[in-house]
Amino acid sequence: MANVRFYSGDTVPLEMHKVRIVQKLNFMPIERRLEAMREAGNNTFLLRNRDIFLDMLTDSGTNAMSDNQLAAMIQADDSYAGSETFYKLDNKIKEIFGKQFFLPAHQGRACEHILAQTFVKPGSIVPMNYHFTTTKSHIVLKGGKVEEILIDEGLNVNSEHPFKGNIDIDKLKALIQEHGTDKIAFVRLEAGTNLIGGQPFSLENMIEVRKVCDEYGLMIILDASLLADNLYFIKQREEKCKNMSIREITRAMSDLSDIIYFSARKLGCARGGGMCLNSKKLYLKIRELVPLYEGFLTYGGMSVREIEAIAVGLEETMDEDMINQGPQFIAYMTEELKKRGVPVVTPPGGLGCHLNAMEFVNHIPQQQYPAGALGAALFIVSGIRGMERGTISEQRDENGNETFANMELLRLALPRRVFTLSQVKYAVDRISWLYQNRSLIGGLTFVDEPKILRFFFGILTTVNDWQDKLVAKFKEDFGDSL
């Protein structure tokens, strides 16, 4: 992407790629969208693609692949053991991260499963900037506890702090002193911190975390799933890194980490995942579990075609013109919404544009899931599918009480290289309309509530007939227009 100044004076994000394969979209009338949302139990995970216009659920496995990735996939070397394709990725990992050992897994959470099995025991503490849903579930399942030691600005949706994903060094030291080093399994750093709005941490903060970990002999595990966005923000926002290349920043971050794992559904624009490290001792320990849960060491549950695509995708990630596409579209969307008074998470992060539901629908109590309700309403009025990242994405505590989320967000992901600027403008328009009519949005309540990761399969209903009223107002304003 290039932010280009137009003759009109506007600065517009301009795509640095051309589209050569397209997929036709469906655009259903509002009556069908309402029906589809009801069939899905007001849960956007349960919608079917045929009813969706713009799928902003996630960037996971939905990024557009490049011509070079597709070409590489055709050349894949299929073999249970010893595939040449695997060694291509192995070499790319060595080259980019400077780590000697690579272990494949079928996606990010598979790495989390194996790492939790290897390092977490009942009573273990895992400090981190912020949890991700699957990460926390794997740690808790092994009897461990997640401790979030993010800087205070991280949870302030309107803060302009450039690195809201930073760890608070004093909180880290206090936690170590409170529990002692033996109890701490490792310190986890999540790049492009997902659940707080795709917010980065700085290289400087990582250096500080490393110093503390060295002092106490603790290991740093970097979740690099959203590394591309974090790299872009370090280069943009961190004065000391302005003259470093993306490759140099990557290498610096890698050198500060003991183990790196990633979801290649995000990093590398393909599907799959893996872990890399330099310690032979730890490698041998982790290695035992890969064939057991994932598959033989030279495929780890991935198809060789995807492995080829990851190797090329990682190389493309080292190109600033490629990794800035997501963040620049997100910044455009966030700024346009802000101009129209819509509450959004700032500064714009990676992954997607995040609506602040706590403020957008501040008349809906957290017990009635404001972010989930906003997600259902937005789909009905636009055909845009977002993802609830609020209380529905949390789990009830041991006594069955709700754990209210720190933030109620509706995430609108912008998978890399997928949408056009006019589609982003359409999203801005319908969200602004919805904001003007926000008083019509009402709450949700569970009809069927799974115990674990309830946001995936939970079925909800509306607390009254607010959705019919919303549809009526839409028709009044837009007539027969979609």
Q: What amino acid positions are annotated as catalytic residues? A: 80, 132-133, 223, 266, 389, 455
CA dihedral (349, 352, 358, 364) in degrees, to 10, reads 180
CB of 217 to ligand F0G, least distance (A): 26
CB of 133 to ligand F0G, least distance (A): 8
CB of 191 to ligand F0G, least distance (A): 7
| Residue indicated by tokens 């579930």 | 137
Position with the least CB separation from ligand F0G:
108
The smaller minimum CB distance to ligand F0G, of residues 92 and 106, is found at 106
The smaller minimum CB distance to ligand F0G, of residues 44 and 263, is found at 263
CB of 192 to ligand F0G, least distance (A): 7
Give every CB contact of residue 219 below 8 A, 6+ residues apart in sequence: 119, 186, 187, 213, 258, 259
Alpha-carbon gap, residue 66 to 322, rounded angstroms: 10
CB of 265 to ligand F0G, least distance (A): 4
CB of 266 to ligand F0G, least distance (A): 6
CA dihedral (232, 233, 235, 236) in degrees, to 10, reads 110
The total of other beta-carbon atoms located within 10 Å of residue 39's CB is: 12
The smaller minimum CB distance to ligand F0G, of residues 63 and 328, is found at 63
The smaller minimum CB distance to ligand F0G, of residues 49 and 436, is found at 49
Q: On the CB side of 106, how many CA atoms lie within 13 Å of its CA? A: 11
The total of other beta-carbon atoms located within 10 Å of residue 209's CB is: 24
Q: Which residues bind ligand F0G (CB under 6 A)?
A: 58, 60, 107-109, 132, 134, 190, 194, 223, 225-226, 263, 265, 273
Q: What type of residue is 22?
A: V
The smaller minimum CB distance to ligand F0G, of residues 115 and 318, is found at 115
CB of 31 to ligand F0G, least distance (A): 29
Give every CB contact of residue 406 below 8 A, 6+ residues apart in sequence: 155
The smaller minimum CB distance to ligand F0G, of residues 301 and 421, is found at 301
The smaller minimum CB distance to ligand F0G, of residues 45 and 216, is found at 45
The smaller minimum CB distance to ligand F0G, of residues 188 and 438, is found at 188
195 near 131, Cβ under 8 Å?
yes
The smaller minimum CB distance to ligand F0G, of residues 268 and 443, is found at 268
CA-based end-to-end distance of the chain? 30
| Residue indicated by tokens 């070409």 | 71
CB of 8 to ligand F0G, least distance (A): 36
Alpha-carbon gap, residue 470 to 473, rounded angstroms: 5
